[in-house]
Chain A
């Protein structure tokens, strides 16, 4: 075995997670120097609440991207799920069951887009673009377009009431998903399906099952993130989430080192990527940079990392052969 020495340059070369982690640390130091209040309890809460939702969604998107698919509609499931919970409770269910029903419905929405994508061979970019509008229309219809309050009680507190609830859920789930990706057959087969669909099928892997399962997982995580967020802000808003949170989730995945071509990706990288986007957003707010400028800067940052990701992967390949 040719063990590479774990020097910093080789680590940065081999592990996409390492370079984004380094970028994150540099950002934190810069913001701490430029603004005195980065490391305050209040600000850490703000940062963590910023990026917890798109961390959860990024976990689902990473699995889908690895499998060679994408889900653009997950931000709409984010908005829809808390309403499903609300109506389940109106029908007489306790909060906890309302949450479970909402999660089941989220997974079913994933099943729906997964089956359409796989059975009819429509690219998921198209199916989920359609689903985006469909789910959004559904949310607006059942909600009447108005926000409502979340129910009080212990379930809500555990899910999103405590200041660090959301981030705790997000990190625990991300770690669990990391184990699933690297240490279970499901994770390995997801990589195989995205890396070589024909070959995976020839090896006897059920590629449709893997893809549909990952669509369900992504929607489920989107719904869960939506519920956590509703409890956190104590309001169920039909305009929550949407394309914005989906875009940030995919950006986190790609910044963290997940390939848009399928066949490779990392949950830990996505977690760090999500945190970096959160830190950026928060740091700019602290510096008093306005939201429009922020969008320009993050947009450019995402473009640059995406381009360098592709270039970097190609270069890494060349340098190792």
Chain B
């Protein structure tokens, strides 16, 4: 092993939900500023892996290290305090709350020295953060339930990005996006990468897009890692072959 300290490292993570073994021992690492793309079938365990990295689930076994230090996350807040922020596949938005309340969910700003929310400051900062990314919403006062799928996704991403996280976990951030909006999010990811201090993990189903934007990719199938490689040295055909091989093996 080299003496690099990884921003985030996972060693041999397993996760069992009752009788379902979702993860069979997955390892990954991320250098500061690096981006990993995770590909794989539906139900393969990708989201479960993300939720372990974000502190939402505790792993059944395995180790997590942040900046070379072993950690055992007790909660999402705990992971957050280590600079890890996640955009969940279901977006974790509350439909009956306004855009700006969602942007600050569980990180609310309060008027100094009081228990009272500073709605004004949150509204302004939310609007600024959305404008910064180029997200188009009618008003930050609008209830999130009134917005389109793509707009909702953009808000969830904007929330994570504006939190100044060191490690950003994105679970299918492009799923509900139109081509223009997806392009906008990819541009945002590229800007973050150019800054060089944010490490990213992105789950996606589009191989070409993922190879294009990520530095390296891994394939997760049935709870195990079946492929790992640098994006520059990997082709879409190669990934498709792996899926086909796995599919044939399963069929027999």
Interface residues of A (CB under 8 A from B): 1-2, 179, 183-185, 188-189, 191-192, 194-196, 198-205, 263-264, 317, 320-321
Instruction: Tell me if B80 is interfacial: C-beta within 8 Å of chain A.
Output: yes
Contact present for A203 and B105 (CB under 8 Å):
yes
Q: Indicate if the CB atoms of B91 and A199 lie closer than 8 Å.
A: yes
**A204→B77 CA distance, assembly (Å):** 6
Whether B141 pairs with A202 at a CB distance below 8 angstroms is no
Chain A at the B interface: mostly helix, strand, loop or mixed? helix
Q: Are B88 and A202 in contact (CB under 8 A)?
A: yes
Q: Which residues of B contact A179 (CB under 8 A)?
A: 116
Which chain B positions have C-beta within 8 A of A201? 56, 76
- Choose among A202, A204, A321 the residue that contacts B90 (Cβ–Cβ < 8 A): A202
Say whether B95 contacts A196, CB under 8 Å.
Answer: yes
- Across the interface, which residues of B come within 8 angstroms of A196, CB to CB? 92-95
Q: What residue of chain A has the Cβ atom nearest to residue B138's Cβ?
A: A2
Whether the pair B94, A200 counts as a contact (CB closer than 8 A) is yes
Name B residues whose Cβ lies closer than 8 Å to a Cβ of A.
Answer: 54, 56, 75-77, 80, 86, 88, 90-97, 101, 105-106, 108, 110, 115-117, 119, 138-141, 145-146
| Most chain B CB within a 10 A radius of its CB, from A179, A189, A195, A317 | A195
**Residue contact B92 to A184, C-beta cutoff 8 Å:** no
Docked complex Cα distance between A192 and B101 (Å): 10
Other than A200-B94, A204-B75, give 19 A-B pairs with Cβ distance below 8 A. A1-B139, A184-B115, A185-B115, A188-B97, A188-B105, A192-B97, A195-B96, A196-B93, A199-B88, A200-B105, A202-B76, A203-B92, A203-B106, A205-B106, A263-B94, A263-B96, A317-B145, A317-B146, A320-B146
User: Can you name the residue of chain B whose Cβ is closest to the Cβ of A205?
Assistant: B106
Instruction: Name the residue on A nearest B78 (C-beta).
Output: A204
Q: Is the interface of B mostly helix, strand, loop or mixed?
A: loop
B96 engages A264 (CB within 8 Å): yes
Decide if A199 touches B96 in the complex (CB within 8 Å): no
A-B contact pairs, 6 of them (CB 8 A): A184-B116, A185-B108, A195-B95, A200-B92, A202-B92, A203-B105
The 8 Å CB contact of A191, one of B94, B110, B141, is: B94
Q: Are A199 and B106 in contact (CB under 8 A)?
A: no
Residues from chain B with a CB closer than 8 A to the CB of A185 are 108, 110, 115, 117
Query: Complex Cα distance A185/B116, Å?
Result: 8
Give the most central of A189, A192, A204, A264: most B CB within 10 Å. A204
Cβ-neighbour of B56 out of A189, A202, A263 (below 8 A): A202
Tell me, in angstroms, the Cα distance from A203 to B144 when the chains sit together.
Answer: 15
Chain A residue nearest in CB terms to B87: A202
Contacts of A205 in B (CB 8 A): 105-106
A198 close to B116 (CB less than 8 A)? no
The 9 residue pairs across chains A and B that have the minimum distance between CB atoms = A204-B76, A199-B92, A202-B92, A195-B94, A263-B96, A195-B96, A264-B96, A203-B106, A204-B77
A176 to B91, CA, bound (A): 33
* A1 touching B141 in the complex, CB below 8 Å, given contacts A201-B56, A204-B76: yes
Chain B: minimal CB distance from A186 (Å): 8
Q: Is the CB of A199 within 8 A of B94?
A: yes
Q: How long is the Cα–Cα vector from A184 to B75 in the complex, in angstroms?
A: 22
Once the chains are docked, how many angstroms separate the CA of A170 from the CA of B145? 33
- A194 proximity list for chain B (CB < 8 A): 96
* Nearest B residue to A66, CB-CB: B96
Q: Kindly state the separation between the CA atoms of A196 and B93 in the bound complex, as whole angstroms.
A: 7
A188 and B107 CA atoms in complex are apart in Å by 11
A320–B117 CA distance with the chains assembled, in angstroms: 27
In the bound complex, how far is the Cα of B86 from the Cα of A264, in angstroms?
A: 26
Please give me the residue from chain B that is nearest to A186 by CB atom.
B115
A264 to B98, CA, bound (A): 12
